[in-house]
Amino acid sequence: MLRTLRDNSAELKRILPRDSVVNKDRMDVECILHLTKQEVLAEIEKQGLIVHTVVPEKFRLSDTNKHGMYPHPIALASCDKGKLFALDYDDSDNQTRLLELRLHVPVDVTVHKAYHDARSIAVVDDKVYICSHIDRISIFPEGAIRLQTNKMGKKDLVDFFTSLGKPTDGTVNVLKERVESHLKE
């Protein structure tokens, strides 16, 4: 992002050498000295908002990170392990691809799965919840959350089927079997 700031500011171009903001994955004492000058820090504070393109990578392209590969990103959620998750929507067939962006230089993009008409995502405890317009919530990775029917009592089972608008008659074992078959659908 420092490179983006420098490229868009005439004053930063004047006081900050280009070598200080490129190839930041290398250890270099000189760039630390340049970046911590008071005039550089003061100028960076004046900049306000920063808009930086992550996908496609602006400076280094890779096989998974090229222009035009992900044309319609519609949702973004962050994970606490140096990752972002995004949805890329294809309006020709209402399919939305789940993308995992590993924040590295360059950003490494993995396409996991396509979902039908998914529009929003949220990440909680390393699980991605994908919400679609057909009132369905999918969870990635699949099988990450399981309903433990063996710990459900009669009241829990009746409440579960009542919320779905399904019949609540039968014994506990019958209701547990219905839950298992419903979850496999």
Torsion sign (Cα): 162, 165, 170, 171: negative
Cα distances (angstroms) measured from residue 138 to each of 38, 69, 141, 151:
49, 24, 9, 23
Q: What's the chain's average pLDDT?
A: 80
Alpha helical stretches, state H, the chain = 2-7, 10-15, 29-35, 38-46, 154-164, 172-184
Mean pLDDT of 35-42: 89
> Which pLDDT value is given to residue 25?
57
Sketch the domain layout of the chain as residue ranges. Answer: 2-46, 73-140, 149-184
Burial of 88 (0-12, 13-18, 19+ CB in 10 A): buried
Confidence at 38, pLDDT banded by 50, 70, 90 = very high
Torsion sign (Cα): 91, 94, 95, 98: positive
> Which pLDDT value is given to residue 57?
59
> Which pLDDT value is given to residue 67?
66
* 158 contacts: CB under 8 Å, gap ≥ 6: 168, 175
Give the residue among 85, 51, 91 at the shortest CA–CA distance from 71: 91
> Which pLDDT value is given to residue 64?
67
pLDDT digits (tens, 9 = 90+) for 44-55: 888 887 776 666
Helix (H) or strand (E) holding 85: strand 83-90
Residue 109 CA to residue 79 CA, distance in Å, equals 14
pLDDT digits (tens, 9 = 90+) for 127-174: 888 888 776 777 787 765 667 777 888 888 888 888 888 888 888 888
* 14 contacts: CB under 8 Å, gap ≥ 6: none
Mean pLDDT of 122-128: 85
pLDDT digits (tens, 9 = 90+) for 72-119: 778 888 887 778 888 888 878 888 888 888 877 667 788 888 888 888
For residue 56, is the peptide bond before it cis, meaning its omega torsion is within 30 degrees of 0?
yes
pLDDT digits (tens, 9 = 90+) for 5-28: 888 888 988 988 888 887 655 667
CATH topology of domain 73-140: Thrombin, subunit H (2.40.10)
Strand partners, 65: 62
> Which pLDDT value is given to residue 185?
66
Structural contact between residues 152 and 160, judged by C-beta atoms closer than 8 angstroms: yes
**Between residues 63 and 91, the one the model is more confident about:** 91
Q: How far apart are the first and last CA of the chain?
A: 45
